[in-house]
């Protein structure tokens, strides 16, 4: 693998790690949700990166050398994961919006420490 | 034909969504179809593999193990739908129930890693909507916490899936065996989060205890199993994986028991017992499905009853007393989990006892006694007589209780030695409860570990342990 490939891979792994650290250490719920999204973006890029392992050509029927094609299976599969990740983040944000009516700062400690009463 | 199991309930839910009223009964028919098909597979002993499209298609497998889980799903869905029909629920609940049924069936049937990821996430989303249905802040926070944690788990699973594809060129379960150890650890960690086992599963008590009774019944009875069946299937492929999952299982059994000793709230007690019971399922992969069936039916029945009781606090409940129509099915279900003869729980526990070997074997008896101890407050609950016509909420639990009894009579062993052993275990549990452990519930455990960041942290710690565990041997 080329030097550039290694750098890109390292950057992707750093993205995943940043997402994970954000999940653990951020105080605000909104930032935690965003870190989850960062982490899933990292994983999606890792899929795309591995798909382009052997080459980055579009896999179409033709006379070219078949070895340099990007792997279509991984790319097809990750589309589904992108949609799922996006819809989950959307759902979580909607419910965070409802929670924000009661706890405008969205601090996790504040929400968890509050007595159980209904709005 | 198999695909009807998945698309039937989804289509029924969609019909309800389109035509709104009067169609609440249609989904129930699709649950009955699931029930009939799984009974057919169980009775005929056949398994039906199926592949959609040719290469890189979706692999589906309907075997004996899946049939137990689908039967469980069908029975619990029927019971919950029947239970909730009186309660003036919005029809939205029934639509989500139908969707959940279809998604969970899909989880049990799918036989490749990526497809499993997709359907597990679908189930998570449906469960999220069900938990958050009350729309109060408490419900929403609980739902948010649930989807957040299981999404973190599934992100690890997705990473593991990618590594498996890299090493074996496909998404099949067999590929996990040759995959690098890190991939194995990530996949197992993701599934353990969904299954609610040991460290990664400690989010479970709060989520299950704070949801509505019917939703907790679904979560504890059915939804935890979507992580368990893939783990059982993975265990069958390699002894290494089997050993690691068994270690986590033993940890889960005792962690659940110890937590449950200190619970004063009935629903939290039941949820902690779920942690320990799902770990039992993983100890012996060959008989895991029947154990999961026995536990799921009994736990659903317990949660449905617990929701209708006048009081959730165990100490106050002793004074107020439970009405008999609710208490009887509760006692029956608790006895089944504790392993009383004639019930399916007894047969299942017995088979697990035969199937395990080596270092786990001596631990089974203390674990069984512990199970009897934590369910003793339910078994010994003071009862008061009440009219059966007072409220119809006993019907579904009685239905589930009948299932426990009938399947127990069918599968049980009738040798006196085994009976004596399990009755002794049960009696020991009840005695220990009344002399020692009933005082423990007045002690309050610090609750800080249930915070979101700590639970996410525990998932990561468990992942690190798993990675260490797969590299060391």
Q: What is the mean pLDDT of residues A9-22?
A: 92
- State the greatest distance between any 2 C-alpha atoms of chain A, in Å, as a whole number: 69
A8 in reach of chain B (CB within 8 A):
no
Asked if pLDDT for residue A117 goes beyond 50, the answer is no
Asked if pLDDT for residue A67 goes beyond 70, the answer is no
How many angstroms away from the CA of A67 is the closest CA of chain B?
Answer: 15
Residue of A80, A108, A116 with shortest CB distance to B452 = A108
How many angstroms away from the CA of B212 is the closest CA of chain A?
Answer: 14
Asked if pLDDT for residue A65 goes beyond 70, the answer is no
Q: Are residues B93 and B42 in the same domain?
A: yes
| pLDDT for residue B21 | 62
B172 in reach of chain A (CB within 8 A):
no
Q: What is the mean pLDDT of residues B405-425?
A: 86
Asked if pLDDT for residue B356 goes beyond 90, the answer is no
Residue of A24, A73, A88 with shortest CB distance to B456 = A24
Using an 8 Å CB-CB cutoff, list chain A residues near B54.
none
Contact B158 A23 (CB under 8 A): no
Residue of B124, B151, B451 with shortest CB distance to A36 = B151
**Best residue of B54, B59, B117, B144 to probe chain A, by most A CBs closer than 10 Å:** B144
**Best residue of A73, A76, A100 to probe chain B, by most B CBs closer than 10 Å:** A73
Contact A108 B144 (CB under 8 A): no
Burial class (CB in 10 A: 0-12, 13-18, 19+), B446: exposed
Asked if pLDDT for residue B125 goes beyond 90, the answer is yes
Position with higher pLDDT, B110 vs A69: B110
User: If DSSP codes are grouped into helix, strand and coil, which group holds residue A60?
Assistant: coil
The C-alpha atoms of residue B48 and residue B62 are separated, in whole angstroms, by 5
Q: Are residues B152 and B81 in the same domain?
A: no
Domain ends where: B95, B111, B127?
B111
Residue of A25, A91, A109 with shortest CB distance to B147 = A91
B168 in reach of chain A (CB within 8 A):
no
| pLDDT for residue B22 | 57
Asked if pLDDT for residue B45 goes beyond 90, the answer is no
User: If DSSP codes are grouped into helix, strand and coil, which group holds residue A71?
Assistant: coil
Q: Are residues B40 and B101 in the same domain?
A: yes
The C-alpha atoms of residue B102 and residue B112 are separated, in whole angstroms, by 18
Describe chain A by its helix, strand, coil percentages, rounded to 5: 70, 5, 25
Phi, then psi, of A50 in degrees rounded to 5: -65, -30
Per-residue pLDDT band at A64 (split at 50, 70, 90)? low
CATH of A3-56+68-113, one of 3.20.20.140, 1.10.150.20, 3.40.50.300, 1.10.287.3510: 1.10.287.3510
Find the range with the poorest average confidence among A5-14, B35-44, B76-85, B445-454. Answer: B445-454
B156 in reach of chain A (CB within 8 A):
no
| pLDDT for residue B244 | 86
Residue of A24, A96, A118 with shortest CB distance to B138 = A118
Q: Are residues B232 and B352 in the same domain?
A: yes
| pLDDT for residue A118 | 41
The C-alpha atoms of residue A23 and residue A48 are separated, in whole angstroms, by 23
Report the residue of chain A nearest B161, measured CA to CA: A47
Position with higher pLDDT, B25 vs A36: A36
Contact A99 B148 (CB under 8 A): no
- State the greatest distance between any 2 C-alpha atoms of chain B, in Å, as a whole number: 64
Per-residue pLDDT band at B360 (split at 50, 70, 90)? confident
Q: Where are the domains of chain A?
A: 3-56+68-113
Asked if pLDDT for residue B473 goes beyond 70, the answer is no
Asked if pLDDT for residue B98 goes beyond 80, the answer is yes
Which helix or strand (DSSP H or E) is residue B383 part of?
strand B383-384
Contact B155 A80 (CB under 8 A): no
Using an 8 Å CB-CB cutoff, list chain A residues near B460.
20, 24
What share of chain B has pLDDT > 70, as a percent? 98
Report the residue of chain B nearest A115, measured CA to CA: B138
Q: Are residues B345 and B303 in the same domain?
A: yes
DSSP state of B221: I
| pLDDT for residue B322 | 84
Asked if pLDDT for residue B48 goes beyond 90, the answer is no
B166 in reach of chain A (CB within 8 A):
yes
Contact B148 A95 (CB under 8 A): no
How many angstroms away from the CA of B116 is the closest CA of chain A?
Answer: 12
- Tokens representing B204 are 């479970």
Domain ends where: B61, B89, B111?
B111
A93 in reach of chain B (CB within 8 A):
no
Q: Which residue spans within B43-123 are E strands per DSSP?
A: 48-52, 58-62
Closest CA to B338 of B403, B250, B408: B408
Give ipTM to 2 decimals: 0.90
Question: Which residue segment(s) compose the domain that B213 sits in?
Answer: 112-471
Using an 8 Å CB-CB cutoff, list chain B residues near A102.
137
Residue of B114, B140, B457 with shortest CB distance to A95 = B140
Q: What is the mean pLDDT of residues B230-242?
A: 87
pLDDT digits (tens, 9 = 90+) for B151-166: 999 999 999 999 999 8
Asked if pLDDT for residue B449 goes beyond 80, the answer is no
Asked if pLDDT for residue B336 goes beyond 50, the answer is yes
| pLDDT for residue B326 | 86
How many angstroms away from the CA of A107 is the closest CA of chain B?
Answer: 12
Report the residue of chain B nearest A52, measured CA to CA: B166
Q: Are residues B238 and B102 in the same domain?
A: no
pLDDT digits (tens, 9 = 90+) for B165-198: 988 888 888 888 888 888 888 999 999 999 888 8
Find the range with the poorest average confidence among A3-7, B217-221, B268-272, B414-418. Answer: B414-418
Closest CA to B102 of B7, B185, B28, B178: B7
Closest CA to B237 of B176, B280, B301: B176
B178 in reach of chain A (CB within 8 A):
no
A79 in reach of chain B (CB within 8 A):
no
B457 in reach of chain A (CB within 8 A):
yes
Q: Are residues B12 and B151 in the same domain?
A: no
Domain ends where: B78, B111, B144?
B111
Q: Are residues B214 and B328 in the same domain?
A: yes
Find the range with the poorest average confidence among B46-60, B187-201, B350-364. Answer: B46-60
For helices B137-168 and A72-102, give the axis angle rounded to 10 degrees. 160
Q: Are residues B88 and B182 in the same domain?
A: no
Return the exposure string of B220-241: e unless at least 16 CB atoms fall within 10 Å of the residue's CB, then b. bbbbbbbbbbbbbbbbeeeeeb
Q: Are residues B447 and B299 in the same domain?
A: yes
Per-residue pLDDT band at B223 (split at 50, 70, 90)? very high
Which helix or strand (DSSP H or E) is residue B323 part of?
strand B322-323
**Best residue of B53, B152, B153, B162 to probe chain A, by most A CBs closer than 10 Å:** B162
The string of DSSP codes covering B422-454 is HHHHHHHHHHHHHHTGGGGGGSPPP-GGGSHHH
Report the residue of chain A nearest B114, measured CA to CA: A77
Cβ neighbours for B220, distance < 8 A, ≥ 6 positions apart = B208, B270, B271, B274, B296, B299, B300, B303
| pLDDT for residue B441 | 76
Closest CA to B464 of A20, A43, A55: A20
Average pLDDT, chain B: 86
Report the residue of chain B nearest A43, measured CA to CA: B159
Q: Are residues B454 and B381 in the same domain?
A: yes
Q: Are residues B131 and B159 in the same domain?
A: yes
Cα distances (angstroms) measured from residue A95 to each of A24, A41, A119, B154, B434? 20, 21, 14, 20, 44
Q: How many domains does chain B have?
A: 2
**3-state DSSP of B11-45:** HHHHHHHHHCCCCCCHHHHHHHHHHHHHHHHHHHC
């Amino acid at each position: 693998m080329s030097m550039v490939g290694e750098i890109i891979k390292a950057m992707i792994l750093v993205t995943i790690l940043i997402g994970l650290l954000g999940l653990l250490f951020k105080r605000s719920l909104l930032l935690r949700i965003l870190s989850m999204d960062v982490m899933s973006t990292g994983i999606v890029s890792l899929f795309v990166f591995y798909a382009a392992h052997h080459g980055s050509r579009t896999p179409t029927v033709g006379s070219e050398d078949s070895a340099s094609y990007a792997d279509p299976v991984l790319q097809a599969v990750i589309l589904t994961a992108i949609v799922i990740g996006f819809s989950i983040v959307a759902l979580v944000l909607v419910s965070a919006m409802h929670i924000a009516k009661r706890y405008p700062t969205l601090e996790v400690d504040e929400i968890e420490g509050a007595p159980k009463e209904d709005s | 034909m198999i695909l009807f199991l998945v698309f039937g309930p989804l289509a029924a839910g969609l019909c309800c969504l389109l035509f709104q009223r009067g169609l609440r009964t249609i989904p129930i028919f699709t649950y009955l179809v699931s029930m009939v098909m799984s009974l057919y597979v169980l009775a005929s002993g056949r398994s039906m593999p199926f592949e959609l499209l040719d290469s890189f298609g979706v692999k589906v497998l309907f075997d004996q193990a899946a049939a137990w889980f689908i039967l469980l799903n069908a029975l619990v869905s029927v019971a919950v739908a029947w239970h909730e029909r009186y309660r003036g629920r919005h029809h939205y609940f029934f639509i989500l129930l139908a969707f959940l049924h279809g998604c969970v069936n899909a989880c049990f049937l799918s036989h490749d890693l990526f497809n499993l990821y997709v359907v597990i996430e679908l189930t998570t989303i449906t469960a999220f909507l069900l938990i958050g249905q009350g729309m109060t802040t408490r419900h929403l926070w609980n739902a948010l916490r649930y989807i957040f944690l299981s999404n973190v788990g599934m992100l690890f699973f997705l990473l593991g899936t990618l590594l498996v594809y890299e090493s074996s060129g496909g998404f099949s379960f067999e590929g996990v065996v040759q995959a690098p150890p890190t991939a194995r650890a990530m996949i197992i960690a993701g599934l353990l989060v969904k299954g609610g086992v040991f460290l990664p599963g400690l989010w479970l008590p709060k989520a299950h205890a704070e949801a509505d009774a019917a939703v907790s019944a679904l979560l504890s009875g059915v939804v935890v199993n979507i992580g368990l069946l893939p783990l059982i299937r993975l265990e069958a492929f390699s002894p290494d994986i089997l050993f690691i999952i068994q270690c986590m299982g033993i940890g889960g059994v005792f962690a659940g028991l110890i937590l449950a000793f200190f619970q004063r709230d009935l629903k939290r007690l039941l949820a902690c017992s779920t942690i320990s019971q799902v770990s039992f399922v993983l100890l012996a992969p060959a008989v895991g499905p029947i154990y999961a069936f026995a536990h799921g039916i009994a736990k659903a029945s317990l949660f449905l009853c617990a929701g209708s009781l006048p009081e959730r606090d165990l100490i106050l409940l002793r004074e107020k007393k439970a009405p008999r129509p609710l208490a009887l099915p509760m006692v029956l279900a608790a006895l089944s989990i504790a392993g009383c003869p004639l019930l399916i729980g007894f047969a299942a526990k017995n088979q697990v006892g035969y199937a395990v070997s080596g270092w786990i074997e001596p631990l089974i008896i203390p674990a069984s006694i512990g199970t009897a101890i934590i369910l003793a407050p339910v078994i010994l609950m003071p009862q008061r007589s009440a009219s059966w016509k007072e409220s119809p909420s006993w019907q579904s639990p009685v239905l589930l209780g009948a299932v426990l009894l009938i399947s127990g009579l069918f599968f049980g062993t009738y040798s006196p030695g085994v009976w004596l052993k399990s009755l002794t275990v049960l009696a020991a549990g009840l005695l220990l409860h009344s002399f020692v452990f009933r005082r423990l519930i007045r002690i309050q455990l610090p609750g800080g570990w249930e915070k979101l960041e700590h639970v996410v942290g525990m998932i990561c710690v468990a992942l690190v342990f798993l990675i260490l565990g797969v590299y060391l041997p």
